[in-house]
Structure 1
Amino acid sequence: MFGTSGIRGPVGEVVTGDLALSVGRALATTGAERVVIGRDPRDSGRFLADALSAGLRECGSDVINIGLAATPTVARSVKWKNADAGVSITASHNPSTDNGIKLWNPSGQAFDAEQRSEITRRIEEEDFDLSAWDETGEEKRWNGANDQHVKTLAETVDVDSLSVVVDVGNGAGGVTADALYELGCDVETLNAQPDGRFPARPSEPTAENCQSLCDHVDATDADLGIAHDGDADRMMAVNENGEFVSGDVLLTLFARQRAGEGETIATPVDTSLIVEDVLAEQGGDVVRTQVGDVYVAERATESGVVFGGEQSGAWIWPDQTLCPDGPLAACRLAELIAKEGPLSELAAGVGEYPIRRKNIEVEDKEELMAALSTSVTDRYDDTTTIDGVRVSLPEGWFLIRASGTEPLIRIAAEARDPDAADEVFTMADTFVTDHLN
């Protein structure tokens, strides 16, 4: 039922009003007495939020409905309102046909595997504690969540005046523009009207989808372009020349800014070597996680881990919240540029290594992955199997892992020069093709 980012899928097929009602009942039955609910702009979120609220109240929980809000606003509101849990009705960067449900702890951390398993069990067994007619919960509206998020960001970040273009992507991330304005920036917005059809561009902030933002920044004197997905837990950026900045480069810049001597950042197994190399120069270290921001957040709770990030655009500062906070990331990046110079120069100072990627469609990814893991670990000594199998080599690394959502085996390989990257990729590709033949 739960993936790495909660429940997600097509409305009316995977995600239904019945499911939302059951999640609400299960969450209340586990002991959540007060729950914050917010949603992204998808129209289906209206009835899903209603159904979830009904399930919660039917089992005695009180509901604080904050309406249309970014996922990090929902996650932060749990603590702000002294609640026991939070629920975001969102499919994040998925298309408008989808919706989903994300569950949050007061720390901003997503529900862990044990919590998700308990919710799943109660739904499958219909194990709910329905309240008596006079003991049901109440729903109240709180309209101050976005303002509180803006206030928190303005108190956290220090930015001299910059010119910033924020592409909200018709999503819930308008809080970013408000926060940057409060910080003294000259702010222009693109696609700021919330619209769950995402008519301006696909919701995921990739280089291809952000071409209009790149063109706009290039045609103006803006210092920075910011792009969010539908629920604004992701943040990607465009430099002052209108060039899209890769997630690996952003991750390296954030990590270098945050991690000092003896400190660690958490990042998935498919993250670039450049992060390790740059951090090593200042005495920092990297701990690897499974792919998915929920796993990054789990490692970010450990002592000495000061930052977590995923090159897809999820950025976590554990001293602030364990939820990926796109608006916070946008403000942190603006702060970095204001203090250290143009993003193009900062990115050039980091550099990038050549990386090769390939997806192979397969019939039984689990069986194939099990055989591949055995073969690769038998062949190489320095392997990691927390998510697929990752091999560290003197010249680079390769990773073979099953997709979490599609019938695919994903191959990634990286080295410090192109020829070595080709060689390492060929090693990985050969392992997969040999097992398919």
Structure 2
Amino acid sequence: MFGTSGIRGPVGDEVTADLALAVGRALGIDTDRAVVGRDPRESGRLLTDALTAGLRESGTDVVDLGLAATPTVGRAVAWEDADAGVSITASHNPPQDNGIKLWQPSGQAYDAALRERISERVREDAAALVDWNQLGDRTAVDATERHRDTLIADLELDRSLSVVVDVGNGAGGVTADALDALGCDVETLNAQPDGSFPGRPSEPTAENCRSLATLVGESDADLGIAHDGDADRMRAVTADGDFLSGDVLLALFGRDAAGAGERVAVPVDTSLAVADYLAEADIETTRTPVGDVYVAAAASESDVAFGGEPSGAWIWPEETLCPDGPLAACKIAALAAERPLAERAADIETYPIRRTSVEVDEKAAVMDRIRATVIEQYDDVSTLDGVRVDRGNGWVLLRASGTQPLVRITAEARDEERAEELFGEARELLESAR
């Protein structure tokens, strides 16, 4: 039921009010107080009502944040002295989808054991309903202002910046407010929350953010920021209008956050360029499965100073274990104020990397066949997440998406010809397994 990023799927098919009610009841069995927030999708209103009903009839008090960024929800669990948090969101997925993601008081998403506990209760239709006079309360709270104040509390910019923030019609308006409070001249794109995402698709990719890149490149702006629907992701554009790759951002954030002898947590699909750049400063990388819950788990270790994913999820463990797109926006603004992002990015030697996603039926069975073939044919194989093959001068990764019916392919090498060759090999492995 739960993928690595919670429950996600088409509304009315995989994600229903019945499911939200069941999750609320399952969570309410051992939860006295819960924080709930949602992204702008219209279906989020009814899913919130259903989930909240399940919690309240279990005797759980609910703090309802209404429309709120996922990192606001993640942080508010501790702020409100709650036992759990719930984001009603499908994050970067298309508007017909929605989902449910659960948070611990630390800001970390529910791990595999906690997700399985809730799943088992839902399967067994477990509940601990209370009498009519013991129902939990539902209280409306606006935590966005506190999120903004937290972001700016200990941060100063070396100079004032001109920043364009593409909110993507999502819940990340707190970023514009925080940057404004830091003294930036802020212009917004797609700032009106709208769960149909009319301005651009929710996922902040280079293709989807062409308007942002063009505006920043053709204006006097110093920086462009883009979020997905719930603002757990952040991507950036340089003053020249170049959309920075997630690997470059990961390298920049990691080098800024970690010191010599410390580690940075990165997923298995991260470029070699990140490890090379961090190694120059005697910073190690530690690989995790793809998914912010795994990066957060690694980032909770004492010598891990930062964790991130090239998709745009960034975690500073001393602040929160929830990926916080608005926090990342403020951090990248501070770096840009000190030295232009284009100059910083130029310091990172990048290598040819190929990524694609292929829609498949029965992705688990396809990956089983790929795994068997790869283990038989290759020597240096990791199955930490999917199948990763180290070829010495390059590597390939095939893994199933945690939220969609896709197998993702990544191939990288230090020269163009080898990268194309490895990418072709990976595609052949997938096609032979379909």
CA distance, structure 1, for counterparts of residue 144 and residue 382 of structure 2: 41
Q: Which amino acid aligns with 1:390?
A: R
Q: How does 1:152-191 map to 2 (within 5 A)?
A: 152-159=150-157, 160-191=159-190
Q: 1:39 to 1:363 in 2, by over 3 A?
A: closer
Range with bigger deviation, 113-122 or 363-372: 363-372
1:408 Cα deviation from its structure 2 partner: 4.3
Q: 1:240 to 1:286 in 2, by over 3 A?
A: same
Deviation string, structure 1 residues 95-118 (Cα, Å, up to 9, x no partner):
211111111001100011111111
Q: TM-score, normalised by structure 2?
A: 0.96
Query: Which of structure 1's runs of 4+ aligned residues deviate more than 6 A?
Result: none
Q: Which amino acid aligns with 2:413?
A: A
Q: How does 1:177-326 map to 2 (within 5 A)?
A: 177-326=176-325
CA distance, structure 2, for counterparts of residue 33 and residue 212 of structure 1: 45
1:402 Cα deviation from its structure 2 partner: 2.9
1:430 Cα deviation from its structure 2 partner: 4.6
CA distance, structure 2, for counterparts of residue 37 and residue 410 of structure 1: 31
Paired residues of 2:56 and 2:62 also in contact (CA < 8 A) = yes
Paired residues of 2:264 and 2:305 also in contact (CA < 8 A) = yes
CA distance, structure 1, for counterparts of residue 353 and residue 362 of structure 2: 26
Paired residues of 1:35 and 1:84 also in contact (CA < 8 A) = yes
Deviation string, structure 1 residues 71-95 (Cα, Å, up to 9, x no partner):
0001100101111111111111112
1:243 Cα deviation from its structure 2 partner: 1.5
SS in 2 for 1:205: coil
In the alignment, which residue of structure 2 is the partner of 1:49? 48
1:4 Cα deviation from its structure 2 partner: 1.3
Range with bigger deviation, 399-408 or 186-195: 399-408
Q: Which amino acid aligns with 1:384?
A: S
CA distance, structure 1, for counterparts of residue 343 and residue 401 of structure 2: 35
Q: 1:190 to 1:289 in 2, by over 3 A?
A: same
Q: TM-score, normalised by structure 1?
A: 0.95
In the alignment, which residue of structure 2 is the partner of 1:25? 25
CA distance, structure 2, for counterparts of residue 269 and residue 41 of structure 1: 31
Aligned-pair identity in percent equals 62
In the alignment, which residue of structure 2 is the partner of 1:5? 5
SS in 2 for 1:15: coil
In the alignment, which residue of structure 1 is the partner of 2:412? 414
CA distance, structure 1, for counterparts of residue 310 and residue 6 of structure 2: 19
1:335 Cα deviation from its structure 2 partner: 0.6
In the alignment, which residue of structure 1 is the partner of 2:148? 150
1:297 Cα deviation from its structure 2 partner: 1.2
Whether 1:385 and 2:408 are equivalent positions in the alignment is no
In the alignment, which residue of structure 2 is the partner of 1:349? 347
Paired residues of 1:36 and 1:78 also in contact (CA < 8 A) = yes
Aligned length: 433
Q: How does 1:73-84 map to 2 (within 5 A)?
A: 73-84=72-83
1:262 Cα deviation from its structure 2 partner: 1.2
Q: How does 1:390-409 map to 2 (within 5 A)?
A: 390-409=388-407
| Alignment RMSD | 1.7
1:121 Cα deviation from its structure 2 partner: 1.2
1:34 Cα deviation from its structure 2 partner: 0.6
1:433 Cα deviation from its structure 2 partner: 4.9
Q: 1:66 to 1:102 in 2, by over 3 A?
A: same
CA distance, structure 1, for counterparts of residue 85 and residue 362 of structure 2: 36
> What are the ranges of 5 or more consecutive residues in structure 2 without an aligned counterpart?
none
1:184 Cα deviation from its structure 2 partner: 1.2
1:410 Cα deviation from its structure 2 partner: 3.2
Range with bigger deviation, 90-99 or 71-80: 90-99
Q: 1:432 to 1:27 in 2, by over 3 A?
A: closer
Paired residues of 1:249 and 1:351 also in contact (CA < 8 A) = no
Q: Which amino acid aligns with 1:249?
A: V
CA distance, structure 1, for counterparts of residue 424 and residue 35 of structure 2: 49
Whether 1:130 and 2:126 are equivalent positions in the alignment is no
Q: 1:409 to 1:18 in 2, by over 3 A?
A: closer
Paired residues of 1:355 and 1:421 also in contact (CA < 8 A) = yes
Q: 1:223 to 1:272 in 2, by over 3 A?
A: same
1:260 Cα deviation from its structure 2 partner: 1.7
Q: Which amino acid aligns with 2:342?
A: S
1:264 Cα deviation from its structure 2 partner: 0.8
Q: Which amino acid aligns with 1:148?
A: R
